[in-house]
Amino acid sequence: MIIVAATQNKHKIEEISAITKLFGMEIISRKDAGVPDFEVEEDGETFEENSEKKARAIMEACGKITIADDSGLMVDALGGAPGVYSARYAGEDGNDAKNNVKLLAVLSDVPMEQRTAKFVSVITMVYPDGTKLVARGEVRGHIMFEEKGENGFGYDPLFVPEGFRKTFAELTSEEKNHISHRANALRELERLLQERNAVEAAE
């Protein structure tokens, strides 16, 4: 099954591809699908809204099944922030480093027992006929007091998943891809695809 990736984030494409190939899905880039280079404004209030908006815009541009991911970090002590603003937490001109610096500063006086958080990933697959599949995945953990690890991206150097003593950035890509929020969302997507296929086979 050929699917077009709406995201232009190479890290996300690598993570999604590493997992989807296990499910028999081949991801191709927007460029390879002949989609013009344009930005989709992520102005939704939820991960679900942003994910669908991106997927639908690219699907309409290429006419092929499209998959889009919207993900972020939700910190309990911050009321769920940065949430949908995770990528631009430090401002529109921010980056991973600036976002991490800001998060550490905001949580500087918060003790470890209150530094609980979760990564959320919502993956939406939109078909040319307009139907969609929406899969949400989460992984809980806590935020460290300093960055650790060289792998991953985003808030990975600060996030330690439950049951582990290492941050996402200290885990290998294989380890992370097995337990991550994106992996959980893709497993849910696989379940939804199996349901869809079963319904189509019965018709």
What would the two tokens of residue 114 be? 């209150």
SS3 at position 152: coil
Catalytic residue from among 32, 37, 70, 109:
70
Inter-axis angle of helices 10-20 and 181-202, to 10 degrees?
50
Task: Tell me whether strands 66-75 and 2-5 are parallel, antiparallel or unpaired.
Answer: parallel
> From the CB of residue 26, how many other CB atoms can be counted at a distance below 10 Å?
10
Place of tokens 């590493």: 18
Query: What is the Rg, in whole angstroms, of the alpha carbon atoms belonging to the chain?
Result: 17
Backbone angles phi, psi at 108, to 5 degrees: -55, -35
d(CA 47, CA 80): 12
Confirm if 123 and 48 have CB atoms less than 8 A apart: no
96 is catalytic: no
Confirm if 48 and 136 have CB atoms less than 8 A apart: yes
Catalytic residues: 70
